């Protein structure tokens, strides 16, 4: 069973299309870890594109909750809140209804999936080994998939130890030693100084993780963001991958 793992699309349709084209034929189902909207210029088109995917399991992220008025905008930084106010206005009722139905976390055949963390799916950022080590106590299976940090990485628990690893791009990375917290990185707003869209393929039959990066037309996304007068800092960060 090969699963396309995507997270943090953030209304960046150009990046999402590039990922779906690149991944075509390499997966049997899709798990989307939330934050379909927020920051970017195409919230409705991204919701439509995701929900139309075959064999999909989709979570909501903190931006998805805020975009439908179910999370206080004061919990976001000012530019994120500005983009969310625009997203709230732009969202069609069918998009809002879809986002409203999404769970924050789920266990699928023993694999935990959550937007931020299995303890605090909307609020917690697992970016270091100190927190990752604690999070292994909050799920029971071998694997937990998360997004939210916008940084692709692998945390491995082996005995009492927890290691942070970076899986090589485009190569099969074995995940058969210990337990893992896996983050595919962000489709629509990467923050690891690599502006290319990120996703991963999880193969549960071979215990492998393939991290992928895909170039996309960043200028086109930026052009659309300027058309809607979204904050300039959100536009320029896409070039830098921060
Ligand atoms: Zn996000």
pLDDT digit string, tens, across residues 91-135: 999 999 999 999 999 999 999 999 999 999 999 999 999 999 999
CA of 117 to the centre of ligand 1 (A): 13
Distance 54 CA to ligand 1 centre (A): 23
Q: What per-residue confidence (pLDDT) applies to 58?
A: 98
Q: Please give the helix or strand (H or E) that residue 93 lies within, else none.
A: helix 93-101
Q: How far is the CA of 172 from the centre of ligand 1 (A)?
A: 26
Span 7-28, average pLDDT: 98
Q: Are 129 and 155 in contact (CB under 8 A)?
A: yes
Q: Separation of 3 CA from ligand 1 center, angstroms?
A: 20
Q: Residue 71 — very low, low, confident or very high, per pLDDT cuts 50/70/90?
A: very high
> What's the 174 CA to ligand 1 centre distance in angstroms?
26
- Cβ neighbours for 93, distance < 8 A, ≥ 6 positions apart: none
- Ligand 1 centroid vs 27 CA: distance in angstroms? 23
Give residue 8 CA to ligand 1 midpoint distance, Å: 4
Between the CA of 149 and the centroid of ligand 1 the distance, in Å, is 7
Residue 174, H or E segment: strand 173-174
- For residue 181, what are the contacts with CB-CB under 8 A and spacing of at least 6? 126, 132, 135, 136, 143, 144, 145, 146, 154, 155, 157
- Going by C-alpha positions, the residue among 238, 234, 228 that lies closest to residue 45 is 228
Given a cut of 90, is residue 61 above it in pLDDT?
yes
Q: Is the pLDDT of residue 242 over 90?
A: yes
| DSSP assignment letter at 137 | G
Residues 117, 138: Cα–Cα separation, whole Å: 9
Per-residue confidence (pLDDT) for residue 70, from 0 to 100:
97
Distance 148 CA to ligand 1 centre (A): 5
Cα 159 to averaged position of ligand 1 atoms, centre (Å): 31
Strands of the sheet containing 56-58, edge to edge, are 56-58, 29-32, 2-6, 197-203, 208-214, 173-174
- CA distances (Å), origin 75, targets 101, 176, 188, 222: 22, 38, 21, 25
Distance CA 16, CA 226 (A): 19
> For strand 173-174 and strand 179-183, is the pairing parallel, antiparallel, or unpaired?
unpaired
Ligand 1 centroid from CA 35, angstroms: 5
Task: Give residue-wise pLDDT tens across range 130-177.
Answer: 999 999 999 999 999 999 999 999 999 998 899 999 999 999 999 999
Centre of ligand 1 from the C-alpha of residue 113, in Å: 15
Question: Which residues share a beta bridge with 31?
Answer: 5, 57
Q: Ligand 1 centroid to 162 CA: how many Å?
A: 24
Nearest alpha carbon to residue 3 among 62, 54, 73, 43: 54
Q: Mind listing the pLDDT tens digit for each residue in 171-201?
A: 999 999 999 999 999 999 999 999 999 999 9
Separation between Cα atoms, residue 69 and residue 88, nearest integer Å: 8
């Amino acid at each position: 069973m090969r699963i396309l793992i995507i997270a943090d699309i953030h209304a960046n349709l150009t990046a999402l299309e590039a990922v779906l084209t690149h991944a075509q034929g390499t997966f049997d189902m899709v798990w989307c870890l939330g934050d379909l909207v927020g920051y970017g210029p195409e919230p409705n088109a991204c919701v439509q594109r995701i929900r139309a995917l075959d064999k999909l399991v989709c979570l909501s992220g903190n931006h998805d909750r805020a975009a439908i008025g179910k999370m206080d905008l004061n919990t976001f930084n000012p530019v994120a809140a500005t983009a969310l106010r625009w997203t709230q206005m732009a969202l069609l009722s069918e998009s809002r209804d879809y986002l409203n139905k999404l769970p924050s976390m789920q266990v699928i055949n023993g694999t935990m999936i959550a937007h931020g963390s299995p303890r605090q799916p909307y609020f917690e950022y697992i970016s270091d080994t100190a927190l990752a080590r604690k999070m292994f106590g909050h799920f029971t299976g071998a694997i937990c998939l998360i997004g939210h940090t916008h940084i692709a990485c692998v945390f491995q628990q082996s005995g009492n130890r927890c290691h942070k690893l970076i899986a090589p791009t485009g190569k099969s990375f074995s995940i058969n030693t210990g337990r893992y917290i896996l983050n595919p990185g962000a489709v629509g707003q990467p923050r690891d100084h690599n502006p290319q869209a990120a996703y991963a393929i999880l193969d549960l039959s071979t215990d492998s993780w393939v991290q992928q990066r895909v170039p996309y037309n960043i200028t086109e996304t930026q052009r659309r963001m300027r058309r809607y007068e979204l904050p300039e800092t959100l536009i320029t960060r896409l070039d830098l991958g921060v």
